[in-house]
Amino acid sequence: MNQESFLNNYNPAVSKKWLHLLAGLTWSAVGIMLISLAVRWLRPLSWQPALLLAGVGVFLALIAHRFGFSKLTEKNKRRIESYTTQKVCLFAFQAWKSYPLIAFMIALGITLRSSPIPKPYLAVIYIGVGGGLFLSSLQYYRLNRWSVKI
């Protein structure tokens, strides 16, 4: 057995529609996780400062979605649709060159959480990034991609 056929036998390949769903679910899950951390950090505050900080975070989320993540989502969708084969590696829902950036962002998040920056201020950043990711994840859930053929 040559190396190429060995790799093809163990390639976790799925159809393109599943890549769209996996990308959407991943972006949604990370967005919800970041927002839930932020809400936990804002909970001890009285409602006025918590509402102000959350509002700033939502504003940042809208900016992150509009000028950053939505463009990346569209680029990912076009890349997924451009694959010529019916089945594509499961991990191709994200461009391969994006994985180091994802690792950097995870490391940055861990560093920020362990930093002396007060958690309510971090909540603004987490709502901004998490909200932007969640809003952009909705672009992956197009109903026409999920028509079921019986």
pLDDT in tens, 65-81: 999 999 989 888 888 88
User: Which of 40-44, 92-96, 125-129 comes out lowest in average pLDDT?
Assistant: 92-96
Can you read off the two tokens belonging to residue 53?
């900080």
* 4 or 121, greater pLDDT: 121
What is the structure's pLDDT at 148? Answer: 44
Can you read off the two tokens belonging to residue 15?
């159809």
**Whole-angstrom Cα distance, residue 136 to residue 150?**
30
**Whole-angstrom Cα distance, residue 31 to residue 147?**
26
The residue-averaged pLDDT of 59-67 equals 96
**Whole-angstrom Cα distance, residue 147 to residue 102?**
31
Please indicate, yes or no, whether the overall pTM of this predicted structure exceeds 0.85: no
What is the structure's pLDDT at 38? Answer: 97
